[in-house]
């Protein structure tokens, strides 16, 4: 860690506290800043870190500055309105580890590059509990040399580094993984409330869903990797059969007065895909519906 000894950390909140704590524990020289001074002071007392009085002050002498802030607007504000960018030395690196919009990340990167300052996006998957035991999954993008230079920091905070490509790509992946998880949560709650209307026990359903929809049954594992990405399209189940099952779920919901907005949209999508691609085709070929609509191939 020779060339990245002095670390600035801005945003000592729910995630930043345990993440910066891991860096302190592993011997990095930490300067922290949070708009709520009491939070930063409490952290510094516990971990023996230095507290800066402003975001700009964090920049002086820092090899790397990490942001764990609420949004990309705040990252931009700290860098360019609060004066941090003017204090960072050429050759230093700033890292946004929060969840930000990739377009903003790319524009910040270009502005910092003009000042000779490197930029990485390194958002994390896993919440506070994962941060507390340094088992975060860290997606990272930007130039390879900067990533390698910062690897000891990522190793201190996470269990695995997921290199994603050009700057902003990690923020894309982070948003997509949370998008998938957010949809799956609604989807599962919708299905379980329909089940409850029919009198099923919630715990019985949750345990069955865990086995029948997760792990080796999850669509990524069972369909996307072996059949879509290989273009084998050989799951052995026709599109019209899945379309029928979704229709059964939606009709059942209607029959008992359960709310099923996601199901209704899903039923329409499967019906449209059957018409466009052919109901007798393998159901994994539904990918072609999106490929056609978006003009890209998986």
Return residues touching ligand NAD (CB under 6 A): 10-16, 33-36, 39, 55, 68-70, 74, 77-78, 98-99, 124, 127-128
The CA distance from 215 to 222, in Å, is 9
Answer yes or no: 174 catalytic. yes
Nearest to 157, CA basis, from 9, 4, 26: 26
Q: Enumerate residues 6+ apart whose C-beta is below 8 A from 80.
A: 111
Between residues 31 and 266, which has the closer beta carbon with respect to ligand NAD?
31
Query: Nearest distance from residue 135's CB to ligand NAD, in Å?
Result: 13
Query: Nearest distance from residue 202's CB to ligand NAD, in Å?
Result: 25
Between residues 13 and 152, which has the closer beta carbon with respect to ligand NAD?
13
Burial state string for 127-137 with b = 16 or more CB within 10 A and e = fewer than 16: eeebbbebebb
Query: Nearest distance from residue 60's CB to ligand NAD, in Å?
Result: 16
Q: Which residue of the chain is nearest ligand NAD when measured via CB?
A: 13
Between residues 93 and 138, which has the closer beta carbon with respect to ligand NAD?
138
Q: Which of 26, 174, 222, 244 is catalytic?
A: 174
Nearest to 94, CA basis, from 111, 102, 251, 277: 111
Nearest to 265, CA basis, from 283, 281, 247, 278: 247
Q: What six digits make up the tokens of 18?
A: 């345990």
Between residues 18 and 263, which has the closer beta carbon with respect to ligand NAD?
18
Instruction: Write the CA distances from 40 to 16, 30, 127, 238, integer angstroms.
Output: 10, 12, 20, 58
Task: Report, in angstroms and rounded to the nearest whole number, the Rg of the chain calculated over CA atoms.
Answer: 24
3-state percent helix, strand, coil for the chain, nearest multiple of 5: 60, 15, 30
Between residues 13 and 83, which has the closer beta carbon with respect to ligand NAD?
13
Query: Nearest distance from residue 171's CB to ligand NAD, in Å?
Result: 10
For residue 48, the tally of other CB atoms under 10 A from its CB is: 9
Query: Nearest distance from residue 230's CB to ligand NAD, in Å?
Result: 32
Catalytic residues: 174
């Amino acid at each position: 860690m020779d060339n990245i000894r002095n670390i600035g950390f801005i945003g000592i909140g729910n995630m930043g506290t345990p993440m910066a704590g891991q860096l302190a524990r592993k011997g990095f020289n930490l300067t922290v800043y949070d708009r709520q001074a009491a939070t930063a002071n409490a952290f510094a007392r516990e971990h023996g870190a230095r507290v800066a009085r402003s975001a700009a002050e964090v920049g002086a002498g820092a090899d790397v500055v990490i942001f764990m802030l609420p949004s990309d607007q705040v990252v931009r504000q700290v860098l360019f309105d609060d004066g941090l960018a003017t204090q960072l030395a050429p050759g230093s690196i700033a890292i946004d580890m929060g969840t930000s919009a990739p377009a903003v990340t790319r524009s910040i990167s270009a502005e910092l590059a003009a000042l000779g300052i490197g930029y990485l996006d390194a958002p994390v998957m896993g919440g506070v509990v994962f941060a507390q035991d340094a088992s975060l999954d860290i997606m990272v993008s930007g130039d390879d040399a900067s990533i390698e230079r910062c690897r000891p920091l990522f190793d201190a905070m996470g269990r695995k580094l997921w290199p994603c490509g050009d700057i902003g790509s990690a923020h894309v992946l982070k948003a997509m993984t949370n998008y998938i998880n957010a949809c799956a949560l609604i989807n599962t709650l919708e299905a379980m409330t329909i089940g409850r209307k029919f009198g099923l026990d919630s715990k019985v359903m949750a345990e069955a869903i865990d086995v029948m929809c997760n792990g080796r049954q999850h669509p990524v594992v069972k369909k996307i990797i072996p059949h879509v990405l290989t273009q084998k399209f050989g799951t052995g189940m026709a599109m019209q059969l899945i379309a029928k099952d979704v229709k059964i779920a939606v009709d059942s919901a209607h029959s008992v007065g359960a709310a099923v907005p996601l199901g209704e949209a899903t039923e329409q999508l499967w019906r449209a895909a059957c018409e466009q691609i052919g109901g007798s085709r393998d159901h994994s070929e539904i990918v072609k519906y999106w490929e056609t609509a978006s003009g890209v191939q998986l």
